[in-house]
Amino acid sequence: MDFLLSYNNFKSSEFKNRYLNVTSLNKVYNLFSTKIIGYSVNKIPIKAISIGNGNIKILIWSQMHGNETTSTKALIDFIYFLNNNTYLNSCFTFKIIPILNPDGAETYSRFNANKIDLNRDAKKQSQPESKALIELYNTFKPDFCFNLHDQKTFYNINDLPAVTSFLSPSINKEKTINSIRKKSMGVIGYIYKNLQNHIPGKIGLYNDDFNLNCFGDYLQFLGTPTILFETGQDKNSYSREKSRKWISFSLYLSSICISNNCYDFESYKQIPVQSNLYCDLLLRNIKINELLQDIIIEYKEVLLNNTVIFVPIIKNIGFFDKIFAHKSIILDKNMKNIKFKISIGDDATKLLKYFKIYINL
Ligand SMILES: [Zn+2]
């Protein structure tokens, strides 16, 4: 079965919004062999799905940051694909934790209920969610780990938004490439070479500064090849449906690479490191005190009645040369001074209304 050609057939159609909590996944949990591997701070069960009975063991987790839901949707799509794939089921045994941080997912927060960033808790393992992950890691003894996240809208490669990014995390400050790290680089290289045919120039490498408190660095340091998958965002695509598909495809490509032994270390070296020069909305030529200035607006994701809405916030005011935007609006230079005070951090709704700019994301 061709993954991309049949994507719309197996893709799960339930998840319409950016909000995704444990309850939204009940149907998925019921369809597969699912086990409770621990409980969150607020005592919500953390569940892991088992698929396949092959020799190569892969541990995957998503939503370690509760508000990073697109990766989970991509993962669920991949799970549905696996369900019908006898070849991959015979090669691999997957243990999959779709939502590692159920409390964060519930409140649409990066943090767990103790306000801890779980991805800074790898060494300490002070939180029940971190303990559950490490316990499964220790008993399952995976050959590979896949660590799934969503990244912010401001990452770019040249003038294009970073739709996906990847990393084989460092194992020390010197960023030594040992055989473990090289293996995950080889998988990412294979993904990159294939994905370039579909989203050329929109694939980046995530920052590889070493931090042993992060799970990717920690597990790769312990000796398990670990891959960071970051779901980004295509231009002005706030539903992230496009990047969802590409991350799902990347999970598929990883399994093909590993089962066919076609690691591509050379291609990894070609991947450009992403920058953070993108913004959500850029307004040019706003007249403030007779000076034409630019305003950078960031959309803050806010949970309201089980739906994520985007609130425009003023991020910066000034003159910005080297910046790219999901949406740019150049105002008429002859407009009058704006009549009210604006500051960085303000809600920009009033400002946008003033210029009759309506955002429909
Ligand atoms: Zn994250």
pLDDT tens profile 239-259: 999 999 999 999 999 999 999
In this prediction, residue 84 carries a pLDDT of 80
Q: Are residues 105 and 66 in the same domain?
A: yes
State the distance from the centre of ligand 1 to the C-alpha of 53, rounded, in angstroms: 29
pLDDT digits (tens, 9 = 90+) for 191-225: 999 999 999 999 999 999 999 999 999 999 999 99
Mark whether 151 and 292 lie in a shared domain: no
Q: CA–CA separation, 105 vs 359, rounded Å?
A: 26
How far is the centre of ligand 1, averaged over its atoms, from the C-alpha of 67 (Å)? 8
Six-digit token string for 64:
């370690």
CA of 206 to the centre of ligand 1 (A): 12
Tell me the Ramachandran region of residue 356: left when phi exceeds 0, alpha when psi lies from -120 to 50, beta otherwise. left
**pTM value > 0.85:** yes
Decide if pLDDT at 323 tops 80: yes
355 CA from centroid of ligand 1 (Å): 35
Residue 169 within any structural domain of the chain: yes
Residue 102, in any domain of the structure:
yes
Give me the pLDDT at residue 256, please: 98
pLDDT for the residue numbered 333: 86
Same domain, 148 and 21: yes
Does position 335 have pLDDT exceeding 90, yes or no? Answer: no
- Element (DSSP H or E) covering residue 313: strand 307-318
Domain count, the chain: 2
Q: Are residues 283 and 191 in the same domain?
A: no
Q: What is the pLDDT of residue 289?
A: 87
**Distance, CA 152 to ligand 1 centroid (Å)?**
9
Residue 253: give its domain's CATH number.
3.40.630.10
Instruction: Compute, in angstroms, the gap from residue 5 CA to the centroid of ligand 1.
Output: 29
Same domain, 233 and 337: no
- Give distance in angstroms: CA of 76 to centre of ligand 1: 17
Q: Is the pLDDT of residue 187 over 90?
A: yes
Together in a domain, 240 and 314: no
Looking at the domain assignment, is residue 273 inside a domain? no
Domain contains 283:
yes
**pLDDT (0 to 100) of residue 317:** 97
Domain that holds residue 283: 278-354
Statement to judge: residues 215 and 337 lie in one domain: no
Q: At what angle do helices 3-10 and 241-260 cross, to 10 degrees?
A: 130
Q: Examine the domain organization and report whether 252 and 155 are in the same domain.
A: yes
For 42-95, what is each residue's pLDDT tens digit? 999 999 999 999 999 999 999 999 999 999 999 999 999 999 899 999 999 999
Last residue of a domain, one of 268, 301, 329: 268
Check whether residue 262 and residue 342 sit in a common domain: no
Q: Is residue 360 part of a domain?
A: no
The alpha carbon of 64 and the centre of ligand 1 are apart by a number of angstroms equal to 7
Indicate if 158 and 12 belong to the same structural domain.
Answer: yes
Report CA(148)–ligand 1 centroid distance (Å).
Answer: 7
CA–centroid distance, 62 to ligand 1, in Å, is: 9
Percent of the chain with pLDDT over 90: 94
Residue 204 lies inside a defined structural domain of this protein: yes
In a shared domain, residues 126 and 261: yes
Let me know if residue 361 belongs to a domain. Answer: no
Give me the half-sphere count of Cα atoms (radius 13 Å) on the Cβ side of residue 358.
2
* DSSP 8-state symbol, 118: G
Q: Of 268, 300, 334, which one is at a domain's C-terminal end?
A: 268
User: Are 17 and 60 part of one and the same domain?
Assistant: yes
Q: Say if 187 falls within a structural domain.
A: yes
Tens-place pLDDT, residues 95-138? 999 999 999 999 999 999 999 999 999 999 999 999 999 999 99
Instruction: Answer with the one of 268, 302, 334 that is the final residue of a domain.
Output: 268
CA angle 89, 16, 324 (to 5 degrees): 100
Q: How far is the CA of 121 from the centre of ligand 1 (A)?
A: 13
| pLDDT on residue 229 | 98
Give the distance (Å) from ligand 1 centre to CA of residue 213: 13
Neighbours of ion ligand 1 (CB under 5 A): 65, 68, 149
